[in-house]
Chains A and B, each alone.
Chain A
């Protein structure tokens, strides 16, 4: 398997936070960065895209490219930040003009097409709203249209789904599939999200982050084989807990995730095991990371 990006001990140090990540982003797939607020997702994305300078380590892009300040590498990466990617006084026309200046591979006609498709109007309309007057969702759509109008090999999106309604999130997943399918196996997506349930359909590979570090990563299907969802009556919880990675209990029942190899032992103590969803996996893995950090 080829990797679009290999991250080797990449660090970014702030006064109160240190990012220290080693991970891979497989080529040809959509990778989700999953973690709690403050886990380091945005810092990692910003560092990978050259928005923030790294403190140490390195990232190797597309097999042999390492200098993120190199325009040849930048032109292959389509990046969009979480909020207010464009100045608020910009209109679609300004976006089109400035993207054409700022990047070599911006296709104005494609941008216009995407704007029309997503109900934003045309960059050539005489009357246009500026970004400040657009809804949060439309601002994200405008930014996505701009970044998708570039011919890139790696799409990096920070929280693209956070301001979108459920229907728009579904369209986003479809858009991911279209982007990947356009150059089968050659294009890659990296995105961070809190809306794991909505984005599960679009996620092939997941990187879980906590406290600036990667705590788990792998293909979603492999992770669903590696871990199991466990639940049962609260009275059986005490026996099941030592076999589980994460565990939560209320007055009637308990739930958590466990390594798949413990399935037989857990069933023997009365627990029910199931294949987890990505959302359930995320909660379990991140809860375990929080518990470990608290020790």
Chain B
């Protein structure tokens, strides 16, 4: 394997047409738009269904973990889509990427860029949601604990989905990945704030997620090089 002369941001731009900063901001914006869209729909349904004003509808949403789960689903779905883009040889661009400087090493840098983008966009997304919650635009049942739970469980979900990328059948892989990501983030976000006031479990899940990403990425690169890249 050769060392690539390209930076992570260059590798990301080469593969996706967008550099690191653009990808981070783009992902965060998509996640926020996804969540705000869903939250607006949910708020409108409650306002129209129950005939109550906006502040009360927001309060209603914050009385159950449903709104918190909705917040978790946005990054789960978007991260799944990003992770499932694998540039196989028979897909457009697949052969080009196998001939560029650095070859597989450049591919690994591109994937590293994807993970960095996902993690930093999660932080931006979580901060934005927390801000909107604090100023009363959105309502969260678990408050800041739920926001942190979304971030750490999304990290864990990224690790789980990376591991699931080893599934050979693309359709099965996509289906199982989405279900698993939603299950991990949804259950963590709903349960963690209810189980404890402490943030230690969040920390443990975050550490577990990071470890899972490290292990699954290594397995993924090895599998990808052997079965897909070559």
Contact = CB atoms under 8 A, between A and B. Distances in A.
Interface string B99-143: 111110010000000000000000000000000000000000000
Given A69-B2, A81-B95, A75 B17 contact: no
B98 A71 contact: no
B85 to A, nearest CB: 10
A74 B17 contact: no
Contact of B102 (A46, A71, A79): A71
A277 B102 CA distance: 43
B17 A98 contact: yes
A69 B4 CA distance: 11
A101 interface: yes
A79 B100 CA distance: 10
B55 interface: no
B166 interface: no
A71 B17 contact: no
A2 interface: no
B98 A51 contact: yes
Chain A interface secondary structure, helix, strand, loop or mixed?
Answer: loop
Contact of A87 (B93, B98, B103, B106): B93
Interface string A68-91: 011100110101010011111110
Contacts of A69: 1-2, 103
A51 B2 contact: no
Chain B interface secondary structure, helix, strand, loop or mixed?
Answer: loop
Chain A interface residue bracket vs B = 20 to 34
Contacts of B93: 84-87, 90
Contacts of A88: 92
A61 to B, nearest CB: 14
Closest 5 CB pairs of A and B: A102-B100, A84-B92, A87-B93, A53-B230, A81-B95
Given A51-B99, A84-B93, A97-B13, 8 more contacts: A49-B99, A74-B101, A79-B99, A85-B92, A97-B17, A98-B13, A101-B13, A104-B101
11 contacts: A46-B95, A49-B99, A52-B230, A69-B1, A69-B2, A70-B2, A75-B101, A85-B95, A87-B93, A101-B13, A103-B101
